[in-house]
C-alpha cells in the first residue's frame, strides 16, 4: 500500500514542502532510532537535497555544511499525526492551518493529516487546494488533507474522491461523523480502491449514542450523564470489517477506543482483511472516572469518550502486540468560550499535537509499556504506512524529515503557551519527562514552530 503508484502528479509531497535542492546538512551525535531499518544506535546522518544520504558512526565535517548537534538527543524519522482538525476554512477562531502547523512543529510532528469537517467541507478539490496553499505559506510541517466520503458529510452521496486525490487528498473520511449508511460505506470502500486511498471511519452508531456525552458505565450512572455505550463503536467496527472483507477495500478505524473493537480488528487482520487502526493518547491514559474527579471538566469530553479501565488495558495490549498501527492525537481545537459551558452542551474534542509526544515518552516509554523504537514506529513509520505517506524512515533516499527528542527533559504542560489557538486539554499542568525539542523538514531545521 505504502509503495502504491499514485495517479496524477505532485502527489503525497504534502503542503509545506520546501526546496532543499543542493543543500547538505549533518545531524551529528544523536541516538538514531529508526524502526523501519531496525536501527537504534549512535550515528551521524548526512542529508543531501532534502533526502537522507548516509548514516555512519562518524561523518567528517564538510566545509560550508551546517550541522545540527544532536548529542544527548534521539533522532527519529519525522513524527506524523494522521488525525488532526486544523479547522480552516470556516472555524478560524478555533485554529488555522498556520496555528495548527505551529502547534504540530512545537509538538515534534513533521506532518499531519487533517480531517474534512471544515466549513465548507473538504469534499471537493477547491477546499483541498485552499488547505494546501495555506500550508505552503506556513511550512512548519507538512499537511496531508483527508477528503470527505460524502458530499457535505451528509452521508448520502459520494464526494468527488478522485478529483480530491489528484489535488492531494491521501484518504477519505467523514470524521466527526460516522458513515452510518452501510450501502454508502460499501460504495466508498469499493470506489476508493480506484485511487488507492483508505477509508477512515469514525466508528460510532449514532442511534446507540443517542444523547450520550460520556462513556456509559459506573461513572455515567453516578453522574447522571447520558452514556455512550462501548457497543456503539463496536457495532460499527464489526459492520465495517465485514464490508472491508467483502470489498477488499482499505479500511482504517480512527481513534479506536474499546477492547471489543480492538479484538475484532486483531482478528480481522489475522484473516487478511485490509484493516488498520489508530488510538489516541487520552484513551490510553485517562478513564471515564476522570469526568467525575475533574468535577465535570469539559476537557474530559470527546468522542469517542474516555472509556473504562478494561478498555484502556486492552488498547495497551494492542499497542504492544502490533494490532494498533498508529498513535494519532485527534487534535480537536475548540474556543475557550465553547468549552466553558456545562458538560452536557460542550463540544466534543480536545487538543493533542503539543502533548502527545511527551505523554507517550513519559507514560508509555517511561512507564515501561513500550520500547522507544516501538513508540517511534507508532508515531512515524506506522502512520506513514497507514496512509502511504513519504517518511517514516531514515533509510538512504527517504525524505529527510526528522524529529529530535530529549528523553530527559522535564516539561510541565502549559496550555497558555501552546502554539495552537485553543486551550482545551485535559493534561494542563501535567509534569512529564521527555519532549520533542526540534524538527527538520527536507533536512532543514524548522525554526520555532
Q: Is residue 295 a contact residue for another protein (CB under 8 A)?
A: yes
In whole angstroms, how close is the CB of 224 to another protein at the nearest point?
3
**Residues 171, 146 contacting (CB under 8 angstroms):** yes
Q: Which is nearer to another protein, 48 or 216 (CB)?
A: 216
**Residues 173, 254 contacting (CB under 8 angstroms):** yes
Q: Which is nearer to another protein, 70 or 415 (CB)?
A: 415
Work out which of 156, 344, 412, 414 binds another protein, going by CB under 8 A.
344
Please enumerate in sequence order all residues whose Cβ is within 8 A of that of 317, keeping only pairs 6 or more positions apart, or say none: 262, 323
Q: Is residue 18 a contact residue for another protein (CB under 8 A)?
A: no
Q: Is residue 64 a contact residue for another protein (CB under 8 A)?
A: no
Q: Is 330 a catalytic residue?
A: yes
In whole angstroms, how close is the CB of 231 to another protein at the nearest point?
11
Number of residues that bind another protein (CB under 8 A): 22
Q: Is residue 154 a contact residue for another protein (CB under 8 A)?
A: no
Instruction: State yes or no: cis peptide before 265, omega within 30 of 0.
Output: no
Q: Is residue 220 a contact residue for another protein (CB under 8 A)?
A: yes
Please enumerate in sequence order all residues whose Cβ is within 8 A of that of 70, keeping only pairs 6 or more positions apart, or say none: 27, 28, 29, 30, 404
Q: Which is nearer to another protein, 38 or 224 (CB)?
A: 224
Q: Is residue 342 a contact residue for another protein (CB under 8 A)?
A: yes
Q: Is residue 120 a contact residue for another protein (CB under 8 A)?
A: no
E strands in 254-381 = 275-279, 326-327
Work out which of 130, 199, 225, 441 binds another protein, going by CB under 8 A.
225
Q: Is residue 224 a contact residue for another protein (CB under 8 A)?
A: yes
Nearest alpha-carbon partner for 84 in 344, 355, 342: 355
Cα distance between residue 161 and residue 147, in whole Å: 7
Q: Is residue 229 a contact residue for another protein (CB under 8 A)?
A: yes
Q: Which is nearer to another protein, 166 or 303 (CB)?
A: 303
E strands in 282-422 = 326-327, 402-412
Strand partners, 399: 51
The span of 2-10, 180-188, 267-275, 338-346 binding another protein (CB under 8 A) equals 338-346
**Helix 230-247 with 182-191: angle, nearest 10 deg:** 40
Query: Residues 180-219: x/- map of binding to another protein (CB under 8 A)?
Result: ------------------------------x-----xxx-
In whole angstroms, how close is the CB of 431 to another protein at the nearest point?
23
HSE at residue 369, side-chain half, CA atoms within 13 A, is 21
The span of 102-110, 183-191, 223-231, 405-413 binding another protein (CB under 8 A) equals 223-231
Total Cβ atoms within 10 A of residue 137: 11
Cα distance between residue 197 and residue 177, in whole Å: 19
Q: Is residue 126 a contact residue for another protein (CB under 8 A)?
A: no
Q: Is residue 293 a contact residue for another protein (CB under 8 A)?
A: no
**Residue 151 to residues 1, 130, 164, 387, Cα–Cα distance (Å):** 26, 17, 12, 22
Work out which of 91, 140, 191, 343 binds another protein, going by CB under 8 A.
343
Return the C-alpha cell found at 133: 496553499
In whole angstroms, how close is the CB of 306 to another protein at the nearest point?
15
Cα distance between residue 125 and residue 132, in whole Å: 10
Which of 81, 330, 401, 406 is an active site residue? 330
- Binding positions for another protein, rule: CB under 8 A: 210, 216-218, 220-227, 229, 295-296, 337, 340-345
Residues assigned a catalytic role: 330
Amino acid at each position: 500500500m505504502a509503495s502504491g503508484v499514485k495517479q496524477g502528479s505532485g502527489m503525497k509531497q504534502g503542503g509545506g514542502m520546501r526546496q532543499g535542492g543542493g543543500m547538505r546538512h549533518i545531524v551529528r551525535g544523536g541516538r538514531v532510532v529508526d524502526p523501519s531499518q531496525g536501527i537504534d544506535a549512535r550515528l551521524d546522518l548526512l542529508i543531501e537535497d532534502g533526502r537522507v544520504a548516509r548514516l555512519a558512526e562518524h561523518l567528517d565535517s564538510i566545509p560550508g555544511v551546517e550541522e545540527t548537534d544532536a548529542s544527548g538527543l534521539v533522532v527519529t524519522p519525522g513524527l506524523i499525526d494522521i488525525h488532526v482538525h486544523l479547522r480552516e476554512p470556516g472555524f478560524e477562531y478555533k485554529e488555522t492551518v498556520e496555528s495548527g502547523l505551529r502547534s504540530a512543529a512545537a509538538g515534534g510532528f513533521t506532518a499531519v493529516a487533517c480531517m474534512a469537517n471544515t466549513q465548507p467541507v473538504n469534499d471537493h478539490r477547491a477546499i483541498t487546494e485552499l488547505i494546501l496553499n495555506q500550508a505552503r505559506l506556513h511550512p512548519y510541517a507538512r499537511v496531508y488533507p483527508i477528503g470527505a466520503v460524502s458530499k457535505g458529510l451528509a452521508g448520502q452521496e459520494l464526494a468527488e474522491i478522485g478529483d480530491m486525490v489528484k489535488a492531494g487528498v491521501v484518504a477519505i473520511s467523514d470524521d466527526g461523523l460516522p458513515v452510518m449508511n452501510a450501502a454508502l460505506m460499501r460504495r466508498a470502500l469499493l470506489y476508493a480502491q480506484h485511487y488507492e486511498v483508505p477509508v477512515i471511519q469514525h466508528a460510532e452508531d449514532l442511534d446507540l449514542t443517542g444523547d450520550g456525552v460520556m462513556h456509559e458505565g459506573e461513572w455515567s450512572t453516578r453522574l447522571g450523564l447520558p452514556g455512550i455505550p462501548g457497543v456503539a463503536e463496536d457495532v460499527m467496527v464489526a459492520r465495517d470489517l465485514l464490508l472491508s472483507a467483502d470489498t477488499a477495500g482499505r479500511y482504517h478505524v480512527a481513534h479506536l477506543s474499546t477492547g471489543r473493537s480492538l479484538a475484532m480488528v486483531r482478528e480481522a487482520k489475522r484473516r487478511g482483511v485490509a484493516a488498520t487502526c489508530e488510538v489516541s493518547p487520552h484513551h490510553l491514559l485517562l478513564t471515564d472516572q476522570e469526568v467525575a474527579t475533574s468535577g465535570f471538566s469539559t476537557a474530559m469530553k470527546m468522542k469517542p469518550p474516555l472509556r473504562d479501565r478494561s478498555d484502556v488495558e486492552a488498547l495497551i495490549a494492542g499497542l504492544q502486540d502490533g494490532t494498533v498501527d498508529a498513535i494519532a492525537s485527534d487534535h480537536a481545537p475548540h474556543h475557550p468560550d465553547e468549552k466553558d459551558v456545562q458538560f452536557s452542551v460542550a463540544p466534543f474534542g480536545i487538543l493533542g499535537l503539543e502533548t502527545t509526544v511527551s505523554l507517550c515518552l513519559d507514560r508509555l516509554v517511561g512507564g515501561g509499556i513500550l520500547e522507544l523504537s516501538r513508540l517511534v514506529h507508532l508515531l512515524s513509520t506506522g502512520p506513514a504506512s497507514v496512509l502511504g505517506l513519504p517518511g517514516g524512515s531514515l533509510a538512504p533516499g527517504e525524505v529527510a524529515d526528522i524529529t529530535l527528542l530529549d528523553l530527559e527533559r522535564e516539561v510541565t504542560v502549559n496550555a497558555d503557551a501552546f502554539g495552537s489557538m485553543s486551550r482545551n486539554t485535559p493534561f494542563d499542568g501535567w509534569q512529564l519527562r521527555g519532549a520533542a525539542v526540534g524538527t527538520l523538514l527536507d533536512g532543514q531545521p524548522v525554526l520555532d514552530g
